[in-house]
Each structure stands twice: as structure tokens, then as C-alpha cells.
Amino acid sequence: MRTSRVALISIALFACKREQPAPPAAPPPAPARAAPAPLAEAPVKAVLDEWLAAQNAGSFERYQKLYAARFQGVRRSGPRTVRLDRAGWVADRKRMFGKPMTVELAELELVRNATMARAQFQQTWASGNYKDVGRKQMVIVREGEGLRIAREELLESRIVGADHRDLSDALMIADDTGVVLSTTPDEGWSKGAIRAGKGDFTSVRSVDVGALPAALAGWHERKVRLMGQRGPLCEGTVSGFSMIGRVTPHFGAVQEWQGTNGEKWSPDRIAAELWTESAGDGRLLVGDLANKCAGALWAFDAEKTTPVVAAADKLSPGPLLDASLRALRRLPLHAEIQKTWLAFPEGDKGPWSASPNVATVAWRFDHPRATLVMVSSAWGGCSEFGGDLTAIFRLNGGEASPKLTLLSAMSYGDVAAPLSAFDLDGDGNLEILFGPEGLRQERGLYQLSGDAYDRFVLTLQPYHDCPC
């Protein structure tokens, strides 16, 4: 009975299934969308050629047509830095076209992907008796049917004839990824798939240890001493290596990745695009650490003598802060910026550095070598006026009646954010660690060069967006 009953149930179920209509056939999978090709090299170079030709021909009309509607420019000239939106840039450049100029481009490096191209080159600019040389970076994007310049920045400016000294890396930068062993890694050192890294707009690849130069491969299993703002924190061991790519992409690229213009990009595809875009300044060879400690800012070989560290402590209201602000406002560079301020529609008759829109901060470093005071003022936001000034003084005398000796006055476009000071190279002078700072997340040192401090960037994150 049991067997017959099961058979009858099976027949009934089979009959029910036969009476139901057949389900529609599943549609064939959509073909994978091919990754868009990088911007072609020839049109990108054509923009650069026209940019050069327009300036050397003195044609402002041709020049201004090359810039995107949403644009940011960073102009540097010696110690002065100014950030401008498109309207401010065009107005500023129009004045520049009032005199004949000669512009030259050399050592061009191009990085291209589907949404942008980054051009980096050595620019020589001369007009009359003035001449400067420096690295320039441009971001070129699609706008309408053509290509336009979305960002232009002179990364550094050296006035020809002025004293200048380069500085090699004197320390290892440390962060949550490990310690930076090289800021100029070779693509051939990496291997395997590109994947998303920690943090926004970060990509990472594994490292072929056999391809590393012996000096870098030798860091494996070596100990480093990790330093915080006030001194040693812990020791870590380099357990391996990674290649990191970091970049801040153009907003148009991010919109495309999010699917605004069609298909949403996969994380792997975005990581591959970021890797391409980070080529050059955005790539780092990092030593992975077996153990880490919170708050690490820099590191060095644990076998070396630990330098004495002086933290950057903010000045409280009082005689020293008052004296520091007076000293800052007596500087010739402050007076030069004041002229621009007085011509600005919102400028009043007072010092530009005393405006409510200006961030002014002062720090003190108490070190056995010397006591230093650092003061920074910078105008925030996007506007035609751009003023920033950083001064470093040596402090003599008591705090009640301080005497300040100027060591350096600089203008770099952002309020300096010092962390600590130390004599790392043993020359008797203090280096000042700063960063991450500004749009490019720059990290580096202020170091005495000749008889004045200069600012040396050790690591940065390429910035391709328009903040204004």
C-alpha cells in the first residue's frame, strides 16, 4: 500500500507540472561593457601646444578658451602663493598678457585614463627682467566636445639667480599603512592584481621583492622606531612591502564611476583607474609593519640615536603671542600682501591678517638647541584675494619681554600645521615636521637652507579636483 500511494502522488505531481505553462527562457546575459579607452595622447598634447603658443603669441583670447568652466589655479611666484577660481585666474592672467612673455616647457610626463589626463612638466617663464623655473601640473578633462584645463598649479617656483638648495628625504613618514620607504617607486616592482586600499581613492598592489633594489629589500625584518609629536612611541618591524597609489580625482571622474552617465563601475575597475591616475607623485613603496602604535608620524632606523623632540605647542594669549603677531605684521611680505588686500572689495583698512576670515595660529618649540616660534596666517575659501604668510623666529629673553629674531618668512598657500621639531641630521639646526596639509595632503619638513628656512615636501597626494 505504501509503495502504491507514493507512486500515485508522484504521478499527480508530474501531471500538475505538465499542465503548467513552461517558464519563459532567461534572457542572455548582457555583454560586459568594455572599459573606456584613455584620453588620446594627441588631443591632450594639442591643448598643451595651444597653451604655449597662445602665451608666446600674446593672444589672451586663445588662452582663456582653454580653461574649463569649473577650474582652479594655483599661482606661485617666489614666496607668494595665490589660489584662484576661473574668473580670478582669467583676470589675473589678463594682466600678465599686458607685457610680452616667453614660456618654455620641458620634461613632459603624461598620465592618462578614461576621464582625465595629468600633465607634469618643467616650466620656464620670463618677462622683462623676471625669470623663474618650476614644476607645473595640469589636469585636462572632457568638457562638451573638446578638452579643457580643469586645474593648473605651479608646484614650486625658483627665481633664477636666487639661492636654492634641494633636500633629500631625511626621515621615513609613517601612517596607518606603514612606513614610506620610497616616494619614487618603479612600476616594475609591483605585481598581481590592483585592489582597493585603505581610505578614499587609494589603490594597492603587492610587491615583487626580487625586483626591489638591494637597499630597499634590505629593510625586510629590520626594526624602525616610530615617533609621535612628543617623541618615541614604539618599535615596529618591517614584515613586508606594498605599493600604494593615492590621488584625489576630478569630480567628473567620480560621477562617472558612480554611474551618473551610465553603468556604475565595480570597485576593482575604480581601483585600476585610480592606480593609473596616481602614477608619478601619487605612488609610494611602503614597508608593512608587524606591529604599529597609534599616533605615529615618522620613523627612522631603530639602530640610530633617537633625536630629542620638541612638540609644537600653541601659544596662549599673552605677551609672547602679542609680540609674535606684531613681528609678523611688520614683515615686508605682509606689506606686499596688504596691497592686494586693500584693493579687494571686502578689504578694510586694517591688517589683512587681522580679518575675521583669516586663520592665524602661533606655535612654540622648546628644544635644548633653541626655542622657536612659528606664526601662520592664511585667508580661507575661494575668492580673488589670496593671502598667506608663515614666519619662523628664534626666541630670546623671557616670555614676559620676548625678543624675536626672524629666521624665515614664506608664503605657500596654506596655513602651516607644524607637529614637532628635532635636529635629525645633527647639523645643530632644528627641522620642523608638518602635514598632512592642504589639498594635496603634503607632508615634509621646514629645514634651514643657507640663512633661512625653506619648505621641503616629502610626500603628497595628487589633487585633480576643483574645490571652488
CA distances from 43 to 197, 249, 394 (A): 32, 20, 52
Contact present, 203 and 275 (Cβ < 8 Å):
yes
pLDDT at 28: 59
Distance CA 85, CA 297 (A): 33
**Which residue intervals of 188-343 are DSSP H helices?**
214-217, 251-257, 267-277, 319-329, 332-343
pLDDT tens string 387-409 = 889 999 999 887 788 999 999 88
Distance CA 465, CA 453 (A): 30
Q: Is the pLDDT of residue 10 over 90?
A: no
What dihedral angle (degrees, nearest 10) is formed by the CA atoms of 340, 345, 347, 353?
-60
Q: Is the pLDDT of residue 349 over 80?
A: no
pLDDT at 9: 29
Contact present, 459 and 284 (Cβ < 8 Å):
yes
Name the residue ranges covered by the structural domains of the chain: 41-159, 172-306, 310-459
pLDDT tens string 302-321 = 888 889 999 999 999 999 99
Per DSSP, what are the bridge partners of residue 288? 240
* Residue 31 DSSP class: P
Q: What is the pTM of this model?
A: 0.70
Contact present, 238 and 288 (Cβ < 8 Å):
yes
Contact present, 66 and 52 (Cβ < 8 Å):
no
Closest CA to 315 of 260, 257, 375: 375
CA 30 to chain centre: 40
CATH number of 41-159: 3.10.450.50
* Residue 34 DSSP class: P
pLDDT at 22: 54
pLDDT at 17: 39
**Which residue intervals of 285-384 are DSSP H helices?**
319-329, 332-343
Mean pLDDT along residues 287-304: 90
In this structure, of 85-89, 154-158, 278-282, the range with the lowest mean pLDDT score is 154-158
Give the pLDDT band of residue 79 (cuts 50, 70, 90): low
pLDDT tens string 200-210 = 899 999 999 99
| Strand-pair category, 418-422 with 403-410 | unpaired
The total number of residues shown for the chain amounts to 468
Long-range pairs, 90-95, Cβ under 8 A, ≥24: 90/64, 91/384, 93/60, 93/63, 93/64, 94/60, 94/64
Closest CA to 289 of 169, 137, 176: 176
pLDDT tens string 144-198 = 889 999 999 888 766 654 443 333 445 788 988 899 999 889 999 999 999 998 8
pLDDT at 213: 92
Give the full edge-to-edge strand order of the sheet including 452-459.
309-311, 418-422, 431-437, 442-449, 452-459
Which H or E element spans position 45? helix 41-57
What dihedral angle (degrees, nearest 10) is formed by the CA atoms of 341, 344, 347, 350?
30
